[in-house]
Amino acid sequence: MRNIKALAGLVSSLLLGGTGIALANSPFHETPAGPRALPGDRLPPFAMLDANGDLPLSPPPLPAGVTMPRPFGPPESTAPGPNLDEATRMARAAVLACRRQGYRVGAAVVDSSGEARAMLTDDGADGSHVFVAMRKTEVVRGFAMASSAASAAVGRDPALKAKVTPAMFVEGGALPILRGGRLIGAIGVSGAAGIPIGHNDEVCAAAGLRAFAGPRR
């Protein structure tokens, strides 16, 4: 499974033109949850029931060269992406844009490796929307286009359909985030009705994307 995960990571990196991801300093080599798992959906191999129903309470030994997080230590990831202010500003703008239309949604902003940078759920919204939104951003990362465009394209081209992964929700609602012409992440929205499905989500995602260029705080 780890070899499969490594290969998937390499493919994603190639699709994105190389993202410079560095996760070697993570304290533990977490186990992927499966082919439908989202990037970052990794769990420590202790203090949780394992597949055999056992509960290992002691952390395993750290791999060679890996240290526990420490104050002002090196970053766990160097993947290009929106910074904290940009990501939260975009997610909030998207959620509020949908609220003004009368919809309660969730919005997710991810970096170039697919890791979550901001996830917001509006008051009264189903908490699952942010995770559906993240699965839409996986479509953007895999096809380097709006998820609505990818949804239309895969229906016409079997070769493109073969690129769809189990972690993707191939529907409208997610848009690429570019910096200097380079794909550095995506913003996805889920929870608004619309015909075609995902249209209203994409309108709100576009509002969030416009906030990307707003004033920094």
Does 136 reside within a domain? yes
Does 107 reside within a domain? yes
Does 10 reside within a domain? no
Please tell me the predicted confidence (pLDDT) of residue 208: 98
Domain count, the chain: 1
Q: Give CA torsion, residues 77, 80, 84, 86, to 10 deg.
A: -170
Residue 172 vs residue 215, higher pLDDT: 172
Please tell me the predicted confidence (pLDDT) of residue 180: 94
> Residue range 59-76: average pLDDT?
86
> Residue range 22-35: average pLDDT?
63
Please tell me the predicted confidence (pLDDT) of residue 34: 83
Please tell me the predicted confidence (pLDDT) of residue 30: 63
Does 75 reside within a domain? no
- Binning pLDDT at 50, 70 and 90, where does residue 108 land? very high
> Residue range 113-126: average pLDDT?
97
Burial (CB < 10 A; 0-12, 13-18, 19+), residue 4, is exposed
**Res 52 pLDDT > 50:** yes
Please tell me the predicted confidence (pLDDT) of residue 4: 33
Please tell me the predicted confidence (pLDDT) of residue 2: 37
Please report, in angstroms and rounded to a whole number, the separation of the first and last CA atoms in the chain.
42
Does 62 reside within a domain? no
Residue 104 vs residue 59, higher pLDDT: 104
CATH number for the domain harbouring residue 103: 3.30.450.150
Which pLDDT tens digit goes with each residue over 4-20? Answer: 333 333 333 333 333 34
Residues 6+ apart with CB under 8 A from 190: 105, 106, 129, 130, 132, 133, 136, 169, 173, 201
Cα separation, 160 vs 178, in Å, equals: 22
> Residue range 9-33: average pLDDT?
48
Task: Tell me the residue range of the domain where 130 lies.
Answer: 84-211
Cα separation, 216 vs 136, in Å, equals: 26
- Binning pLDDT at 50, 70 and 90, where does residue 27 land? low
Does 130 reside within a domain? yes
Does 125 reside within a domain? yes
Does 175 reside within a domain? yes
Task: Tell me if 28 sits within 8 A of 59, measured CB to CB.
Answer: yes
